[in-house]
Structure 1
């Protein structure tokens, strides 16, 4: 019996990566709902600008939710799929009753910072496991989100 999975990774490494990716998936799901809530509930003089930006952000987050879940499956594991599970493991907390545009943007910055920290952890684990697929995915996300954090921070002044 081999300890190598279908894509050529050691089972132990794949298990650890899948567990960490499930944590990332939980964070993406909570963050997605936060961004969706910001989109629905933002008020104020920058409504039109922020409403459009928040839609762009939550659309991207939803795509990443699917990509992360599919990577977990590729590693031979099952993605979490219950919000109760997401709430238990997510570093990102639900945002409720947020209407102020600047507060919404600050929530986005904080959410991205949590994602970046977790993705860097996964990237390092993936590199150690010779898992180029996961490492590449995390590198792409990190590059995109660092720029987004810069832009949102510039918006806040």
Structure 2
């Protein structure tokens, strides 16, 4: 059946394309955060290990919400490493950085996702897609706050 939710096919496709980048960024940051959770060392080990776990668990929920919104818009969500690698704006980490470098790298990742989400807002606003706007607002809120908290721990 055709999707008939009051948003044109063209607008739904544009929103879904933006959300696919958001999904790829979120999944890439999820993997990076999980990696850092496993491999962090040093005097802040316990607190960072716990913090990174909280963050990757939040991202796991977010990727599901974003992918389901793409599906509700009538498009297919990307779901492979290959597709995510093509879409993401977040760079892979090389090796195992120090705990402080992990924090700085995660700040960059959270800020990148906030920028990605913000770039989709005008497209969703133009389509009066309040559901996608709500998701985007939630993601910007989480990522800007997380970036602030991480940034504060190294300044």
TM tier relative to shorter chain? over 0.9
Instruction: Write the deviation string for residues 17-45 of structure 1: whole angstroms up to 9, x where unpaired.
Output: 11111111111111110000000000111
**For 1:30-109, what aligned pairs fall within 5 Å after superposition?**
30-109=28-107
* CA–CA separation in structure 2 for the residues paired with 1:76 and 1:56: 31
* CA–CA separation in structure 2 for the residues paired with 1:85 and 1:144: 24
1:8 alignment partner, SS class = coil
Aligned CA RMSD, in angstroms, stands at 1.2
Aligned to 1:10: 8
TM-score, normalised by the number of residues in structure 2: 0.95
Q: Which runs of 5+ in 2 are unaligned?
A: none
1:113 to 111, 114, 119: 111
Could you tell me how far 1:124 is from its partner in structure 2? 1.9
* CA–CA separation in structure 2 for the residues paired with 1:136 and 1:102: 33
Structure 2 residue 102 is the aligned partner of structure 1 residue 130: no
* Runs of 4+ residues deviating >3 angstroms: none
Query: Across the two proteins, how many residue pairs are aligned to each other?
Result: 154
TM-score, normalised by the number of residues in structure 1: 0.94
* CA–CA separation in structure 1 for the residues paired with 2:54 and 2:150: 13
Q: Which runs of 5+ in 1 are unaligned?
A: none
1:21 to 10, 13, 19: 19
Could you tell me how far 1:126 is from its partner in structure 2? 0.5
* CA–CA separation in structure 2 for the residues paired with 1:6 and 1:100: 50
Could you tell me how far 1:60 is from its partner in structure 2? 0.4
